[in-house]
Amino acid sequence: MANIQDESTLDTTTGAGATPGELAGSQRSPEGAAIVGGATRAGNEGPGPRVMSASTLEGDDIVNREGEKLGELDEVMLDVATGRIAYAVLSTGGFLGLGDKLFAIPWRALTLDPENHCFILDVAKERLEQAPGFDKDHWPAMAKASWASEVHTFYGQRPYWE
């Protein structure tokens, strides 16, 4: 499990230890996830953390600000027509793919912590249980504006297409 630090241990030079509400030193584009820690590291060569393959992110833990594991990043879903990330799929529970509950998470709701190989989602476990979810056999139609808007509203994010 990732070690999410409190504000008193925040490295304001690099943003390491920042929480979603306190992303000093983080980098975020208008459409992307914030990056803390390694995003501003000097001498960073090659891909990552600003440009990464989706497959290197899949399986990363998603934790909340308290450091509690919420699940794992299962998929990164693309809006092929616009070339944007539509949402990330958070997988919780289950065994060998059975009993998993899946959640569409707006990409902007996530903060990448490359040093801890995880994403931070500013939501309590209890609140996540109330989120619009689905199972592996019944994926939602994210292209359906009402469902997509409901997901973005739940996480307090502006829809990526706006």
* Structural domains of the chain sorted by starting position, each given as residue range(s) with its CATH number in brackets: 7-154 (2.30.30.240)
The number of CA neighbours under 13 Å toward the Cβ of 126 is 0
CB 42: neighbour CB atoms within 10 A? 5
- CB within 8 A of 55, min separation 6: which ones? none
- What pLDDT does 48 receive? 63
Tallying the residues shown for the chain, one arrives at: 162
- What pLDDT does 93 receive? 75
Give pTM, 2 decimals.
0.72
Rounded CA-CA distance 103/91 in Å is: 7
pLDDT digits (tens, 9 = 90+) for 113-146: 988 889 999 999 999 989 988 888 888 876 678 8
Cβ(160)–Cβ(79) below 8 Å: yes
- What pLDDT does 100 receive? 79
- What pLDDT does 5 receive? 38
Concatenated DSSP letters of the chain: ------GGG--TTT-TT--TT--TT-B--TTS-EE-SGGG-TT--SS-SSS--HHHHTT-EEE-TT--EEEEEEEEEEETTTTEEEEEEEEES-BTTBS-EEEEE-GGGEEEEGGGTEEEE---HHHHTTS-EE-TTS---TTSHHHHHHHHHHTT---TT-
Tens of each residue's pLDDT in the chain, 162 residues: 444 333 333 332 233 344 434 434 444 455 567 777 654 444 555 556 677 788 888 899 999 999 999 999 999 998 888 888 989 999 997 655 556 789 999 999 999 998 888 999 999 999 998 998 888 888 887 667 888 889 999 999 988 888
The values of phi and psi at residue 115, to 5°, are -70, -30
